[in-house]
Chains A and B, each alone.
Chain A
């Protein structure tokens, strides 16, 4: 079974979706618990995978390698390394918890959970596949359930949000496809195997495409494709809308996992395969990261809708990831991937908490509350913790990863880093200001009878809170998990850059 562990963890949700499709729709509890069971098993498998994963080795482990469409040299190739392992864990964890956040879905539950599981499979596939074609299939397959999940179960503007999300991401995918095919034809023999493509890295810089350096052209194509997913300014406009309109659990998945796919794509594909171009583009990427940090925070500061504020905070937080990875130093790289994981857990908490209050008050207007900490002390306490984690308070995991990003980036992009630290202050400003307006001060008489957070909601939140706190105090296990792969990545990119005289 260990030989096929990654296939099982990827395709288990597909199996689950099929099973759910055959449960009569009246048996609601069976459907919900079925989805919880499938994602629960997936989580256990993911933990098992981490258990047998040897983190001292930088290379790819648990490989599964078969010919799939031989005439085009397309392979079924799965494997994980220190970069994908945290993402696999994150996906399994958030999928499991998001099932409980979805408990209140009030229409067509069967379709919802079936699509949710398909989404889960697509995400898992993206993080486990090492053949570019396979990666692309999973990348796209994920869009379809997402479109329905936003479009059917979302808020008032859901139709517009769904199609906008779909059009944006499909446009990105199209560029990805072009870049992928260009890589395929330049490589010799033609292949989609990411590891072989990475070995042939130097070829791409020597070839011409459209009269320019092929490596750079392809890098830009892939960059736009991934940037839309991250999202990097100015490709971010789909995000606030999609986040606000999506049901809570889907916002959790969007922020927690989908945004990571963009940065994961950079680190899995762009950086190792197009090493020279990655160095060439490092500065623009850091600048874009800075814009993300500042712009996202400013926009968050201006929001009246709590969910939109959290959505923009994601834009800001992903900016730190970009700065960290653009620096191409071991500290920056580890910080970036660690920040990806942490943002996954923290933003998931934030969106869940927004969902909790929205379910009760039916609005999310930050100014429409006031003093509710007196009525719902537990909720206020959990939210305070999540907000502190979000603003990067020491003692929470976000602080460690942001600090690592800065430490890594400072020697390379000194001024950018200095300005980016400003983002931390802005982050603190909007989180604290929002907290103050919602929870402190005079109690708004409308909410005297506001219901306290219930056990099911706490059940979804507490594991995330514990992880955030634990990794904030003792980040070593997570850093150990990824560091050997990431340090290796930094090293090969740097060496290639030196060879090319950059």
Chain B
């Protein structure tokens, strides 16, 4: 590798470079802030991320190259997800400005950690080498541990962080073991070379299955799929609420990105975009395993969510169920399936952030996280009630919201191919019916029951209202107007293949 090559690669690496620069700048800026003014660090961080987003948007979509000796890939797939996680980070920072939990404390590092986490996700969605995958994964995880324990003086937050670390360390250990086996057996840590080695039949199927399970443990933990989900409810409940919201969307989307890239590039002939269905290599039925994870996640997540009375825990379990739905798209392993996952992840970001932000605001204003206490909220704060209803309907997957369209694309991709998938679709859809019950409990609390007051008594601050409308409007209208997002998602299914 010569210097020229490095310089060319760096030019593809521009958004990451800008983000790194901004992180350094923000750290230095924060040194000059007192605790009371440390929120300014946050403003600077949001501005910086906006700049990075512009650099990302400026990147050529048709670009598809491997950089730094194929450690990372720069391609349409990565670009889509980078924009998605950046948008998530911006929205979460916006809401963090309004969070009471973060008032009266030094918050500079908080925003810096989110920035570093975002950078980690950039690496994760573009990693194509076992080492870069692992390092990116750890970068995301460690920042998540820190952020979930950010409320140092609260027991819950500490518990959250410690649980997260213990589970995280354990599962990344297993992942690493799987990686080392894979490296030992194929002689390469680059996923393209691994793919070639597997295609030539170098590894025995039994060993491959073992490796596969280990890798699924590591990745499954990141996206909180059952049975690797045990950390989720406690971490989600204890972490600062904006971080919970963030963890449930952006790092999760990044986790899905690496699963998709890894399985579809390394374990199947997914490199060939002309194939309708990508065959798995060596008759290795990773689809069956992923399908099993999916069914488990949906069902367990939904059934346990039924019994939750705390809204954060309810949303935590529901996010497990949503991971299950998204896994369905990976099972299909073709262009439409993956486009459907990308679409779902985007819509999920809007609706789940919306639901969490309403919960944060209610916690700020009424100091409660119990669903029962949302009583009459629809009358006390009509606009807030309507917006929360939209998010709940969307999470359930009812028309005319984006949540329905996202589910529709997923199930569409399933039914297109064969009978096994038909059953999966049926299970997924019935899970949607189950989820109706607990999402509607929130709506029920807000509107049904005795109407104590008919008058509006509470108005959310303007910037919160705007933020929530920004999240709700696309859910209602984007797909009706020809659905531009589905084009973006379809175009984003282009992987760099060496």
Contacts and interface: CB of A to CB of B under 8 A. Distances in A.
B189 to A, nearest CB: 38
Given A107-B454, A152-B448, A174-B432, A166 B399 contact: no
Contacts of A181: 411-412, 415, 425
B399 A71 contact: no
Contacts of B479: 69
Contacts of A459: none
B444 A163 contact: yes
B404 interface: yes
B425 A178 contact: yes
A141 B399 contact: yes
A143 interface: yes
Interface string B400-441: 100010001001100110010011011001101100110010
Contacts of A211: 419
B486 interface: yes
B460 interface: no
A185 B415 contact: yes
B36 interface: no
B328 to A, nearest CB: 13
Contacts, number: 85
Given A144-B393, A152-B448, A166-B436, A136 B399 contact: yes
B400 A141 contact: yes
Contacts of B425: 178, 181
B433 A170 contact: yes
Contact of A166 (B419, B432, B440, B447): B440
Given A170-B433, A181-B415, A71 B440 contact: no
B400 A137 contact: yes
Given A167-B437, A178-B425, A108 B399 contact: no
B487 interface: yes
Contact of A140 (B398, B430, B451): B398
A159 interface: yes
Contact of A163 (B399, B411, B440): B440
Contact of A144 (B398, B422, B430, B433): B398
A52 interface: no
Q: Most chain-A CB neighbours within 10 Å: which of B398, B399, B415?
A: B399
A151 B433 contact: no
A199 to B, nearest CB: 22
A146 interface: no
B310 interface: no
A116 B449 CA distance: 20
Interface in B120-144: none
Contacts of B483: 69, 71
A137 B422 contact: no
B184 interface: no
B361 to A, nearest CB: 22
A182 B422 CA distance: 9
Interface string A89-123: 00000000000000000011000000000000000
Interface in A114-150: 136-137, 140-141, 143-144, 147-148
B412 A170 contact: no
A158 B447 CA distance: 12
A181 B411 CA distance: 8
B451 A107 contact: yes
Interface string A309-348: 0000000000000000000000000000000000000000
Given A144-B398, A178-B425, A209-B419, A167 B411 contact: no
Interface size class of A (residues with CB under 8 A): 35 or more
Contacts of B487: 71
Interface in A148-186: 148, 151-152, 158-159, 162-163, 166-167, 170-171, 174-175, 177-178, 181-182, 184-185
A147 B437 CA distance: 12
B490 interface: yes
Contacts of B447: 148, 151-152
A68 interface: yes
Contact of A177 (B393, B429, B448): B429
A108 B479 CA distance: 31
A383 to B, nearest CB: 32
A166 B392 CA distance: 14
Interface in B443-493: 444, 447-449, 451, 454, 479, 482-483, 486-487, 490
A48 interface: no
Contacts of B399: 136-137, 140-141
A143 B404 CA distance: 14
B430 A151 contact: no
Contacts of B429: 174-175, 177-178
Contact of B449 (A71, A141, A147, A159): A159
A140 B436 CA distance: 13
B444 to A, nearest CB: 6
Contacts of A25: 454
A221 to B, nearest CB: 9
A210 interface: yes
B432 A163 contact: no
A68 B480 CA distance: 8
Nearest to B423: A210
Interface in A52-72: 68-72
A22 B422 CA distance: 45
Contacts of A163: 437, 440, 444
A124 B362 CA distance: 37
A3 B486 CA distance: 30
Contacts of A182: 415, 422
A278 to B, nearest CB: 22
A184 to B, nearest CB: 8
Contacts of B436: 166-167, 170
A209 B415 CA distance: 10
Nearest to B430: A174
A177 B437 contact: no
A144 B416 CA distance: 29
A159 B400 CA distance: 23
B415 A210 contact: no
Nearest to A74: B483
A274 to B, nearest CB: 17
Contact of A167 (B412, B433, B444): B433
B404 to A, nearest CB: 7
Given A144-B398, A171-B433, 4 more contacts: A69-B482, A69-B483, A159-B444, A174-B433
Task: For the complex of A and B, list the 6 residue pairs with the smallest distance between their C-beta atoms, beginning with the closest.
Answer: A174-B429, A181-B415, A140-B399, A137-B399, A151-B448, A171-B433
30 contacts: A69-B482, A69-B483, A71-B483, A71-B490, A72-B412, A107-B454, A108-B379, A140-B399, A141-B400, A147-B440, A159-B448, A159-B449, A162-B444, A162-B448, A170-B432, A170-B436, A171-B433, A174-B430, A175-B429, A178-B411, A178-B425, A181-B411, A181-B425, A182-B415, A182-B422, A185-B415, A209-B419, A210-B419, A210-B422, A210-B423
Interface of B: 379, 393, 398-400, 404, 408, 411-412, 415-416, 419, 422-423, 425-426, 429-430, 432-433, 436-437, 440, 444, 447-449, 451, 454, 479, 482-483, 486-487, 490
